[in-house]
Amino acid sequence: MQDSYSRKIDYLRISVTDRCDFRCVYCMAEDMQFLPRARILTLEEIEALAAQFVALGTRKIRLTGGEPLVRAGIVGLCERLKALPGLQELCMTSNGSQLGKLAQPLFDAGLDRLNISLDSLDPALFRELTRTGDLHQVIAGIDAARAAGFRHTKLNCVVLKGRNDHEINDLLQFALDRELDLTFIEEMPLGTISEHSRAEAFFSSEQVRERISERYTLISSAESTSGPSRYWRVAEAPHSRIGFISPHSHNFCATCNRVRLTAEGRLLLCLGNEHSADLKAVLRGHPGQPHKLEKAILAAMAIKPWKHEFRLDDEVQVVRFMNMTGG
Ligand code: SAM
Ligand code: SF4
């Protein structure tokens, strides 16, 4: 599939639930209202939509949320998606809390790769940032993923000034010790939060690199994946890749290859814009008519915006929270 700017769109991120066992301060409000079950896509609907996307040329699918591992039936869904002819890579982004018990079943179901979020190695700060999370459970989940056979696992860390920026090098060392990749993410202005000022908490990728350079020798790398990260390595431990997602300081839109399906079945064409198509309505309104779905997906590609414009102030630009968006 191509959009109107001739970008090839072959990557679909699916939010399988808006629910989560954590309430990370940058992602959710403390008292979130979650969607009633009837508004969420069923597993069969997710599968039907994914099959249509793969038939149209999607080569990579990432399951996300919310927390994908709190959705009942997730392992079976992985198994069925992995079997779609033409799909090359099935990945998942998880907070790691359920991986202690699910890493092995997920690996056996054919899940190819995992991204796991980790913002602090201090149990008290970890609890503060996630509001409910248990650091030891997540570290056990990270270790279970490796033991189950997952390779090229990547940690994601959202850096907030004055909260976890002092842990940048400890988190990096944690990743290097386990030969994991690590991506540092700048906070994005998705949804209204009251807990901190997003403008005041901004810590740029440039500042992260300066901090890393105090302890390691950073070597810039020309490598890229199909994502928005720019990669570096450190001379002291060359096995790990260090990525930076910098929506404020580095615009990655020109090479965008992805669209996002929300838990409600809305296809979002861009993380930072509201352009979307209601695929659930098409699916439920025209059962047994896959050509209607195909037409709706192809029509949606034509309205994919050229780029997002995140500003560094606290005014709400996108009202959707990340758990709705499928980060
Ligand atoms: N629950 C899973 C997790 O935390 O990995 C998957 C969903 S979560 C929305 C996906 C990623 O988005 C996580 O790495 C999280 O840290 C990141 N994220 C959430 N809200 C964000 C925001 N406002 N700005 C930047 N990254 C955010
Ligand atoms: Fe849950 Fe992930 Fe959002 Fe944290 S970032 S609240 S773990 S969905």
- Judge whether 16 and 241 are in contact, CB under 8 Å: no
176-191 pLDDT per residue, tens: 999 999 999 999 877 7
pTM of the model: 0.93
CA quadruple 20, 24, 28, 31: dihedral, nearest 10: 80
Which atom of ligand 1 approaches the CA of 193 most closely? 23
Closest C-alpha to ligand 1, atom 20 = 27
- Judge whether 77 and 62 are in contact, CB under 8 Å: no
Q: Is there an atom of ligand 1 within 6 Å of 185 CB?
A: yes
CATH 3.30.390.10 fits 11-325, yes or no: no
Does the pLDDT of residue 321 top 80, yes or no? no
Residue to probe by mutation, ligand 1, list 27, 91, 130, most atoms within 8 Å of CB: 27
294-317 pLDDT per residue, tens: 999 999 999 998 887 666 555 545
**Dist CA 211 CA 205 (whole Å):** 10
224-282 pLDDT per residue, tens: 665 667 789 999 998 999 999 887 765 678 889 999 999 999 999 988 777 899 999 99
Q: How far away, in angstroms, is 327 Cα from ligand 1 center?
A: 5
Q: How many CB atoms lie within 10 A of CB 39?
A: 12
Q: Is there an atom of ligand 2 within 6 Å of 301 CB?
A: no
Q: How far away, in angstroms, is 189 Cα from ligand 2 center?
A: 15
The gap from C-alpha 162 to its chain's centroid, in whole angstroms, comes to 24
Q: Is there an atom of ligand 1 within 6 Å of 26 CB?
A: yes
Q: Is 10 helix (H, G, I), strand (E, B) or coil?
A: coil
Q: Is there an atom of ligand 2 within 6 Å of 65 CB?
A: yes
Pairwise pLDDT comparison (115 vs 320), residue with the higher score? 115
Predicted local confidence at residue 185, as pLDDT: 94
